[in-house]
Amino acid sequence: MAIVLLSARSGHRLANAVMAALVITIALSLLHRWTVYERLWSEYQNFAFVLNSLVYAWGPLLYLYAYSLTQGSLNHRQWLHFLPLALAFLGMNLPLWTLSSTGQQELIAHMWVIQQDVPGETPMMGRQQDVLGETHIWGLPHSLWHPMMTYLYHGILSSVHMVCYCLLVLRQIRQHNRRLEQHFSSLEKMNLRWLHALSIACLAVMGFYLVFNRIPTIVGGPIDIAGLGANLHLIVIVLLLYGIAISALFQPSLISGVKQASGSEPIRPGTRDHRPSHNDADSPVSNAAAATRDTQSVDTPPQNSGKYRRARLDIEEAHRYKIALMEAMEEQELYLDSDLALPDLARATGLAAPRISQVLNGQMNQNFFSFVNSYRVQLAQSMLLDSETSGMPIVELALEVGFKSKSSFYDAFKRVTDMTPTQFKQAMKTSPEVDDEPA
């Protein structure tokens, strides 16, 4: 899988390389599991925990995959994400390396119990005292109890570590979608919904692992490492991460969208920023506001403040820009273009794309995505209430009003109306009067 990822030709080779590294760490973790089962550690005790700390690389690599996929690049500071991996390596191995050879063998024998190899024998649970009066816990002398608990607590820490990075992945995807919504009216193949779903599944698996594996082990003692309970979480998490790896192979390039959403991609040729002028008869915005420009201006949300810090609009001018945008959308029906992007609207109105974003965010309190889809949903509402089109299949209706898929249509429709299309039709049928305005 790693070789396939590294050799795949795509627009996000860096992200594929990060995913290949994740796949390799998973493979090494599986290899370690196999060496434990084959009891190879009994001959090489000093290396028993060397690969155990690799689980601390899973979360950072998954996050860096999402980061490189949505940002297009990484920087040297990203290496700090692997600091817990280095600390875990030392934390797991140093307690083992400080023990004698006999102590190492006894610790490992109680830590990795393979019950079917020793039928009838299970580790002693609870506190007991031997004939010399030395306290034993789980059948271990007190001197070995600390390394044992250190190893078990690392299982909890690594799970919490993975949970934190899954949450970071979800946050990165959310920020990515917000950036895209400033520039695109459709996010199909760019919203990383598959990565979002698999990350949530990883969260669920790690929660299952904590509740049904790590905590019972600490409370009740070692469990059979060959049993299903000790391996089910590992099987599922590996399947999920390999599912992410396979999906990565089919993910279309996001580089163009990422560059445009971050403002590094120039506006398409033909787009002009029409400052209102007496000599510009074709401009959709008159020059009246330019003569009355005062200290009042339209503020943009914090995430866009730096982008427009040197290009603030006064209230009247922004209002005229708003009217120009609405007229262009209504008269030219631009929203019917399922691939409509911010530069397309900029070219149609003669305004610069940053100006449009400024007016949408500051004057209309919405982004480009919601602005365009509100027109699509309004048309869909009219068609759902029209006797000639009310019986049209939902998929056909969605395509007719400018959406690319049924799922995106449902999401947008519910966001605007708080109802599904079916619920909307039923509500309008039971309503004594049907308004022309959207619900």
DSSP string covering 119-138:
TT--PPPSEEE-TT--EEET
CATH topology of domain 375-439: Arc Repressor Mutant, subunit A (1.10.10)
- One pLDDT digit (tens) per residue for the chain, 439 residues: 889 889 888 778 888 899 999 999 988 988 887 887 777 777 778 888 888 889 899 999 999 999 998 887 888 899 999 999 999 898 888 888 888 888 887 777 766 655 444 444 444 333 334 433 444 445 566 666 667 667 777 778 888 999 999 999 999 999 998 888 888 888 877 888 888 988 998 888 888 877 777 776 666 665 666 666 667 777 887 888 788 888 878 877 676 666 665 554 443 433 344 433 333 433 333 333 333 333 334 444 444 444 444 456 677 888 888 898 999 898 999 999 988 999 999 998 888 888 888 888 888 888 999 999 999 999 999 998 888 888 888 889 999 999 988 888 998 999 888 888 888 888 887 765 544 444 4
Q: Taking the domains of the chain in order of start, what are their residue ranges?
A: 2-261, 272-365, 375-439
Tokens linked to 18: 């990060």
Question: How much is the pLDDT for 266?
Answer: 40
**Positive or negative torsion for Cα 377, 381, 382, 388:** positive
Question: How much is the pLDDT for 228?
Answer: 67
Q: Which string of DSSP letters, residue by residue, matches 351-398?
A: --HHHHHHHHHHTSS--HHHHHHHHHHHHHHHHHHSTTTTTS-HHHHH
Q: Which three-class secondary structure state does DSSP give residue 409?
A: helix
Contact 99, 147 (CB under 8 A): yes
CA angle 419, 425, 428 (to 5 degrees): 95
**Which residues, 6+ apart, have CB-to-CB distance to 54 below 8 Å?**
25, 28, 29, 32, 85
Indicate the burial class of 430 (C-beta count within 10 angstroms; 0-12, 13-18, 19 or more).
exposed
Question: How much is the pLDDT for 248?
Answer: 79
pTM of the model: 0.73
Report the C-alpha gap between 97 and 117 in whole angstroms: 26
Question: How much is the pLDDT for 244?
Answer: 82
Tokens linked to 245: 């790896």
The full length of the chain comes to 439
